[in-house]
Amino acid sequence: MDDIEAIAALQDPVRRRLYEFVVGQGREVGRNEAAEAAGIARTLAAHHLDRLVEAGLLESGSRRLTGRSGPGAGRPAKVYTRVQAERTVSLPARDYRTAAELLAEAAEQAGLDAGLTAAARRRGESLRGSTAPCGGLEEAMEMLAARGYEPRLEGDGGDEGDEGSGEASGAAAPVLRMRNCPFHAVAERFPPLVCGMNLALLEGLLGTDGPVRARMDARPGECCVVVQNSKNNGN
């Protein structure tokens, strides 16, 4: 199925709600959970979820949702997650990815990292405009979501510890981690260059003298930058 057909599969409002719910969880989602979230019957949810798999927008697997194993644990249930492959449509055809990769290759070979990060920081400041630095994690989440980073709050005293948080009590300091990197395709080929650019862009967007601060903390499958309160960055 080509990209146009795949994206067209989201035209159905129920199917789109199911897709957005699965994407928003950042984990495997079962049919019952998806049906309840969308307010529809399980059989209808199963139909639309499988159509999204056929369209190449979701991928499916199976696992036991009870958390038990062995006899009496029940049959494995079908679960769904977002695929990693990108889908794009441009009319007429455009190839910005190739241009970006060529520019990144040239910048890396010429040692232009400092110039690129400076330009990225200026762009972030320009996007922020004359407003004050970001006022807190809630505001940062809204800003990052608007730019496609898919942020989620982690920690907040209850989740797993966050390295570098400076918390001696063992409770994790709240931190925004992002499920999506808008520069993923180019970052895979030129990680130091593009991740440094991304950090500088967010520093400019959020501000460096406010209550929140962006920093590097790469995890597989996530954006390489996280955002947390400045006081937890050693400030």
* DSSP class per residue in 27-62: S-EEHHHHHHHHTS-HHHHHHHHHHHHHTTSEEEEE
Mean pLDDT of the chain: 88
Query: Which tokens in the block code for residue 196?
Result: 């440094």
Tell me the C-alpha distance between 16 and 228, whole Å. Answer: 31
The residue with tokens 């931190």 is: 175
The pTM assigned to this predicted structure is 0.80
Confidence (pLDDT) at 91: 86
pLDDT class of 67 with cuts at 50, 70, 90: low
Query: Which tokens in the block code for residue 162?
Result: 């966050």
Confidence (pLDDT) at 8: 93
What single-letter amino acid sits at 8? A
Helices 191-206 and 96-109: crossing angle, nearest 10°? 100
Percent of the chain whose pLDDT exceeds 90: 73
Percent of the chain whose pLDDT exceeds 70: 87
Confidence (pLDDT) at 231: 75
Instruction: Tell me the range of 42-51, 152-161, 218-227 where mean pLDDT is highest.
Output: 42-51
pLDDT class of 160 with cuts at 50, 70, 90: very low
3-state DSSP assignment of residue 77: strand
Residue with the larger pLDDT of the pair 172 and 24: 24
Confidence (pLDDT) at 162: 40
